[in-house]
Structure 1
């Protein structure tokens, strides 16, 4: 049997374990990575020196630490309180909070965003004597929607930036055209209209709330410095450079030192915060980088791109719809990280072979993969967290209940974002 089919079988087995036992996903990818190294598809030096993108991992770890400190500062909660106080009615306030959740999630990890906004949603729901289920679903889906808008939003955007050699600024404007950030914002506006139609029944009410005290503005300053640092780095380096990774990592470490020695939080609390970072996803990414890199080494991804070219022929719209639809369906049920890593070179090659700008199909892949995670309650980690919070607070939601809002939200936001993408990049 050819080595490429053995590697594909290993990847398929890995994927099966990740789907069946998501809590074991890190072990599954590490095991698969060890297998391709032992089979000498890639050498250890090549695997850990070339295939694993340590700059991406440094950005992820550093941004996670800053996100935890941002939550600790209570600044997001205070902003939400101000929104409720400033809006003329509660229907608009709820939609504004959902939009704020999305904007925060463009710079802070999705799960962290949901965790910091959940208490606000639950407290407001109690005051309104309103079932919190769809408010919580709204927090999760809006967070997921914005995860791919910037370089630091979520792992898929970091992976895309690494592959396409995009810097932080390129997510806003690239080659004179509006880039993925603005494409996602079109989806967010469509989602906001969708939610306002649902929550408009609460439009005549207004509540007074006690404003949350701010602990410190230092984490907000770190978040702003991270954005400025990445923007400056983009002017001097294309893609995710070592300077981008070091900038975010240093700011994250500085934040933790501030937490321990300036805020004088205990060593135990500091270690608890560090331990609470998403290390499972970090290990998962290391394994995925190696396995998908091994698949690429065998030429399988190029062969799949050729197969897709034969399938869609010269029909650009068909290729666009196929990538978009398949991405939505797959990401609604399984982790989108390995899918995106594997499909980025396929989408790019397919576009180039058809004489297109690769962004048309690569952005379609990102939109379908990230927005598709909103389809089901287990399509994204933020969804699972939201379901857990609802259950803990006595308002459990089942699969069909999620679909009632997740499915139409996914279709509306994906359609709006993809239509804008087609107009700008076709």
Structure 2
């Protein structure tokens, strides 16, 4: 029953990007009614530290975007660029850096208007510009613990702290793998934009509404680094820090904007929040019924103890599946599979775990339905009257993904094999 329910929910998520939370909880309810999983086990399976990280980080990120600081930064980069192609590459790079600490969809929504203005004044299609922004945002979400749900899930499963994403066990970790991949991937974007040699059109600079959210974001990152260093074994440390800064930001926003708390709650990504909660329960059912152990055993037999083959299988399989379906349920289910596979091969689990997260985080860039940020960019283009197609997205997304994954994949293999 657990396997059938998970597969049914997974197929629904592949077909529809609406009502993800309700769909997952419908599956969870089936497991509870059939007795596959008890209510207490279901409650305990939810990782409340991850929920705290997601909730607190989302609130701080929303306030950071409200402040208009990201838009001002984008405007400044455009003004200092020699031509439109370089301006667009820099804007894509900025969107990636912002996404290392903020939610990808919000990043696309705040940076996209800058690209739309450039396209409109150059009298060219905005399709390649917005695709570039979306894929850059998705890539760098994996760089830090607070950047994207897959990173949060990795930290939860492996016990990694915020600082571990930079250096772990004396080795450079995911942050450097992703940043190197991002730097090389910008070359792909420059090739896509190289024909736009026109002078940069003048863009009116966005006024900054407040610097408080910026200080909140900086303070949260600093606090996460300190807590990770002083209390590395505190199970709820990261989530508590994020929620504390999220609450402080909400209080500040309430004093600044009338009914500010209500507007923040209304904008909050409740769908992903409840999706995460429900996925934890579904995956616990897979574990309790032995399905995860069975899949790990199958992969162990298929790879025959070959570490390089196992690393390739988990990385590129993650790329393929995440190109078409949400990466949250995939990563939640595959991390324990990777851990068990590594244990059966008597190797460190981190090589396989990092491969899963890199493949799943970047694989969504291949298609317009592979990630929420892509769907939003697609929608913005449609609303602007652009005749954007599936092929338009793949034309940039596929080479970007292959290059990004290959670079990060080789970096991790070099240091973690």
Alignment TM-score > 0.5, same fold: yes
Query: Which position in structure 1 is the counterpart of 2:301?
Result: 310
Q: Is the 8 A contact 2:127 2:392 kept in 1?
A: no
Does the CA-based 8 Å contact 2:62-2:106 persist in structure 1?
yes
1:204: how far off? 5.3
In 2, Cα distance between equivalents of 1:425 and 1:385: 35
C-alpha distance in 1 between matches for 2:267 and 2:375: 17
2:89 paired residue number: 95
Q: Identify which of 376, 381, 396 aligns with 1:405.
A: 396
CA RMSD of aligned residues (A): 1.5
Determine the structure 1 residue equivalent to 2:2.
7
Q: Pick from 164, 168, 175: which aligns with 2:169?
A: 175
Shift of 1:338: 0.9
* Per-residue deviation, 1:97: 1.0
Point out 4+ residue stretches in structure 1 off by more than 4 angstroms: none
Give the TM-score taking structure 1 as reference length. 0.95
| Correspondent of 2:114 among 120, 123, 147 | 120
Q: Which residue of 2 aligns with 1:283?
A: 274
- Equivalent residue for 1:54, pick from 29, 48, 58: 48
Which structure 2 residues correspond to residues 264-413 of structure 1 after superposition, within 5 A? Answer: 265-267=257-259, 269-413=260-404
For the Cα contact (< 8 Å) 2:50–2:152, is it kept in 1? yes
Q: Is the 8 A contact 2:100 2:142 kept in 1?
A: yes
User: Do the aligned partners of 1:333 and 1:379 also contact (CA within 8 Å) in 2?
Assistant: yes
Aligned to 1:3: none
Aligned-partner SS, 2:19? helix
Distance change >3 Å, CA 30–CA 223, structure 1 → 2: same
Counterpart-to-counterpart distance in 2, 1:90 and 1:396: 22
Match of 2:220 in 1: 226
Task: Structure 1: give runs of 5+ residues left out of the alignment.
Answer: 1-5
Q: Say yes or no: does 1:208 pair with 2:199.
A: no
Report whether the alignment pairs 1:30 with 2:21: no
Shift of 1:131: 1.4
User: How far off its partner does 1:198 sit?
Assistant: 1.9
- Once the two structures are superposed, residues 115-151 of structure 1 have per-residue CA deviations (whole angstroms, 9 ceiling, x without a partner) of 1101111112222222111000011100000111111
- Cα shift at 1:402: 1.1
Does the CA contact (< 8 Å) of 1:166 and 1:240 recur in 2?
no
What is the rounded CA distance, in whole Å, between the counterparts of 2:288 and 2:104 in structure 1?
32
Relative distance call for 1:242 and 1:382 in structure 2 (3 A) is same
Q: For structure 2, which runs of at least 5 residues remain unmatched after alignment? A: none
